[in-house]
Amino acid sequence: MRTLPRPGRRARYVAVKAAYGGGGFGTALGLGYAVLVTEAKLARKTIGPPKTQAPRAAGSYGRGRRGQQPVHLVVLGDSAAAGLGCELADQTPGALLAGGVARDLRRRVDLEVVARTGARSADLEAQVGQALRRPVDAAVIVIGANDVTHRVPIASATRDLRRAVQALREAGAEVVVGTAPDLGSVKPLLQPLRTIAAQLSRRLAAGQTVATVEGGGTAVSLGDLLGPEFSESPHLWSADRFHPSPEGYRRIADVLLPALLQSLGVDIPVSVPISDSVQDVQLAARVAAREPGVEVDPLPEQAGAGRLALLRRRLPLVGRGAPAGPTGAGELADELSDGEPAH
């Protein structure tokens, strides 16, 4: 008789099933990896090594009320999380998210960015350790592109992500994960690499969704959020044609922000949910992998079980105004003098 996986192993089991979708794909996947190796070398040569580093966005955003503790927000992941391709710090995803939270929560946000260019899911353990040197209120993770291009097994990548989410949740942080973007939209990737990369990206994103939910976090699908427009709009790309431009990052931040605000208890209509449904987590993961902007949340009564999840679709976030900018030294000194303890 076939033995079903124990609940503690369900994340790995569902992630593998979502990723491979049956034995017939296994052979194609092996052939795809062989092609991916050759084409990836050409793509890396075309893209070249990063000529710059992402701007340093860490710091304080907005102002709080007297005696009010700031929100400690940490951004983890790879170059897309760090904002490689931006020229200014306030263009990066971390700054946009911190400014958006400060604006809508009306509290100061202390932003820390531990994301690193070239990071894979296996690097999240070290990033989590760095982040948890002080209490964390909320964490945003964007990871996965390098796992695809470096042929990291999906089961390994999703296991590492689940551990990171779980560690952050156990430390008391709210966690939002932007799942792997669709690499099929990247111009320097040639066919058949582009098609293969798109397939692998979606399967990794499905596995990441399961891993995130079972770890207690909220998964938000990035998918091909920018893919169709990127094909028509060069201004959404940075100079290397691999990383988004500041406008591209703004669109990513707009998709992540509603889930982040909701996790922090914002009670204003930051965006309008157009549908909520409870689904099997594997089905929810597959839907999210092909529909950018979809959120998948754990159900409180299902925490740790991983069988059911809440699938939420939202209208785009609009009309919120500009995010709060970095807090000036003078403003910060004034706030601290009002009675808030220094960190």
Catalytic positions, please?
A: 79, 240, 243
Per DSSP, the chain holds a count of helices (H) and strands (E) of 12, 9
What radius of gyration, in Å, describes the C-alpha atoms of the chain?
20
Residue 60, SS3 per DSSP: strand
Cβ neighbours of residue 215 closer than 8 Å, sequence gap 6 or more? 11, 161, 162, 163, 164, 165, 166, 169, 175
The Cα-based distances of 98 to 92, 158, 335 in angstroms read 10, 26, 18
- Alpha-carbon torsion, ordered 270, 256, 114, 209, to 10 deg: 130
Q: What is the DSSP letter of 143?
A: -
The Cα-based distances of 203 to 44, 51, 164, 189 in angstroms read 22, 30, 19, 18
